[in-house]
Amino acid sequence: MLKDKSFVVGGKCPTNIILALGINDRSSDPQKTSIRNLKTMLTWIKNRYDSSNIFLTEINYSKLLPKAEQTNIDSINRSMGHCEWATVIPKLGTQKFKIDSNSVMGILWKEDTANSMVHHWLDFLN
- Quick: pLDDT tens for 48-62: 888 899 999 999 888
Q: How far is CA 32 from the centre of its chain?
A: 18
Q: Is 4 exposed, middle or buried (0-12, 13-18, 19+ CB in 10 A)?
A: exposed
CATH of the domain at 119: 3.30.750
Helix or strand run (H / E) with residue 28? none
Mean local confidence (pLDDT), 17-31: 78
Domain hosting residue 106, numbered range: 31-125
Higher pLDDT, 25 or 116: 116
Q: How many Å apart are CA 38 and CA 108, to the nearest integer?
A: 23
Give the C-alpha distances (Å, rounded to integers) separating 72 from 8, 23, 29, 35, 77.
35, 10, 7, 10, 9
**What is the number of domains present in the chain?**
1
Residue 1 banded pLDDT, cuts 50, 70, 90: very low
How does pLDDT run across 77-125, given as a tens digit for each residue? 999 988 888 999 999 888 888 777 766 666 667 788 888 999 999 999 9
**pTM across the whole model:** 0.79
Residue 9 lies in a domain: no
